[in-house]
Structure formats: structure tokens, C-alpha cells
Amino acid sequence: MNFTETLTGRRSIRKYSDQPVTKEQIEKIIELTRFAPTWKNSQTARFHVIMNPELKNRIAEEGTCNFSKNKLNIQSAPVLVIQTTVDGIAGYEKDGTFTTSKGTHWQSFDAGIACQTFCLTAYDLGLGTLIMGIFDEEKIKNILNLSEGESIAALIALGYPAEQPNAPKRKELSDIMQII
Ligand SMILES: Cc1cc2nc3c(=O)[nH]c(=O)nc-3n(C[C@H](O)[C@H](O)[C@H](O)COP(=O)(O)O)c2cc1C
């Protein structure tokens, strides 16, 4: 698979097979995800990998804001990754003030780059992913006993795909680009 094929072939996967994903595969994905660029190389993304089915099911039941689609998405996947960011670093000066007028924006920006790097790497290794933005941050933080200085950026389902969805339509280049 060349890079264009990886980029265009990755899809959000919402149905997974029972084939297990190994710890080694997940380590490989996160090892490569470390190469994503970050604000001043601050590397604030963290990955809490849930392979325990009971714990994963508890998050599906209690941590999805009654959005039943994400409950099913999480139940279907053999692995759930809780991607977090260490707060107060990306976008900040050493004295704790913001470097730019965009405030906390940069830690989410870095999280997004890391998340896409994770998903493309997983796809390149034959696995499917789904990024989920609808979740109950406080509930999941409590369930996992996450440290105070971490925010949840996204949930990522991971596993072998049991579906091959078509790509949702993309906007035309003329809708999103101008040359000035
Ligand atoms: C920040 C973000 C949040 C998302 N949240 C959800 C979600 O909560 N549930 C879901 O089923 N899909 C979610 N998606 C997946 C999008 O719906 C999907 O990426 C989009 O429809 C394009 O499809 P594709 O990923 O197959 O190209 C999310 C994607 C992103 C980037």
C-alpha cells in the first residue's frame, strides 16, 4: 500500500470481527504515532489502551452519554483506546501563560494530528479504527482513575474490520481551496 492508498483507503469502521489484536500490534502503532509533530516537540498525547472486555463494556455502558451508536461501536471493537493530552503544556509558555491568542487550542491540535497518525498507521498494518468524539469525559476519567492533569481528547475503537464502508462524499476542491 502506498501513501495515497493509505490516505484514501482508511475508513471509519463501526463493525469489527472477533479476531483479537495483540499487545505487540498496539505497541507498534503507538511507537510509530510518536513520530507525529507536536507543539515545541512537547509530545503531550497519551494512549490508555483497554483490552479488558469488562472494563471496555463498562465504558460503553456508562461513558457514551446515552449515544447508543457509540455504545455499539465500542462493544463491537476488541480494543478501545482512550486518547488523552497532558494539560497545560502545548501552547503555553514556561510561566503558565498562553503563547498565542488561541489559548488551549494547540493541545487539541496536537491530539488531532496524533489521532490521525494512529488511525493511518493502524490501517497500514491491516486494522480498522473509529474516532469517537461523543463521550462522557468525567465518567470515563472516574472509571479509569485518570490523573487530574489529563484531558480526554478522543476515544478510538481498534480491531479487524468486519465491514468495508464506502467513503462518505468529500467536498470539491473548489469549495475548500483558493489560490490568492
Ligand atoms: C473528531 C471526530 C469525532 C468523531 N466522532 C464520531 C462519533 O462519536 N461516532 C462515530 O460513529 N463517528 C465519529 N467520527 C467519524 C466521522 O463520522 C467520520 O470520520 C466521517 O464521517 C468521515 O468518514 P471516514 O472516516 O470513513 O472517512 C468522528 C470523527 C472525528 C474526526
Task: Indicate whether residue 55 lines ligand 1 (CB < 6 A).
Answer: no
Expressed in angstroms and rounded, the spacing between residue 13 Cα and the centre of ligand 1 is 9
Domains observed in the chain: 3-161 (3.40.109.10)
Can you tell me whether residue 106 is helix, strand or coil?
helix
Can you tell me whether residue 34 is helix, strand or coil?
coil
Expressed in angstroms and rounded, the spacing between residue 12 Cα and the centre of ligand 1 is 6
Kindly state the DSSP code that residue 7 receives in the 8-state scheme.
Answer: H
Task: Indicate whether residue 70 lines ligand 1 (CB < 6 A).
Answer: yes
Which ligand 1 atom minimizes the distance to the CA of 115? 31
In sequence order, which residues have a C-beta less than 8 Å from that of residue 18 and are 6 or more positions away?
78
CA-closest candidate to residue 85, choices 57, 113, 64? 113
- Going residue by residue through the chain, which has 180 residues, state the pLDDT in tens, using 9 for 90 and above: 999 999 999 999 999 999 999 999 999 999 999 999 999 999 999 999 999 999 999 999 999 999 999 999 999 999 999 999 999 999 999 999 999 999 999 999 999 999 999 999 999 999 999 999 999 999 999 999 999 999 999 999 999 999 999 999 999 999 999 999
Can you tell me whether residue 79 is helix, strand or coil?
strand
Task: Indicate whether residue 64 lines ligand 1 (CB < 6 A).
Answer: no
Which ligand 1 atom minimizes the distance to the CA of 135? 8
Give the pTM.
Answer: 0.98
